[in-house]
Amino acid sequence: MKPKKHARIGMFHLEEAVLDVLLAAKNKGECIGVAEISKRSGIYRSLENENSALNDSIVRGLLIKLICEDRIEECKKPNNQRG
């Protein structure tokens, strides 16, 4: 199998993991952020600095892609933060 095909398959599975987490959160009436999506999906990079934005960079990139493709919408938390 060629590398690009592996990448497409990998992206599909990562997107599905994120979408599954988002659907479960929506069904519970939750508006969750990037860090929580990362943890619930298991797509979390544990670096030395636990508060590093890089820990959630994969999920952040996937969310941007899904929003740009109009596959998901951002939710607003009560304190007007994005979720």
Hey, which residues does 82 pair with through a beta bridge? 76
Query: CA separation (Å) from 16 to 8, 42, 47, 69?
Result: 12, 12, 24, 14
| pTM reported for the whole predicted model | 0.83
Residues of the chain where predicted confidence (pLDDT) is lower than 70: 47-52, 79-83
Query: Given this model, what pLDDT does residue 27 score?
Result: 96
Query: Given this model, what pLDDT does residue 39 score?
Result: 92
* Residue ranges of domains in the chain: 3-68
Closest CA to 44 of 56, 32, 62, 61: 56
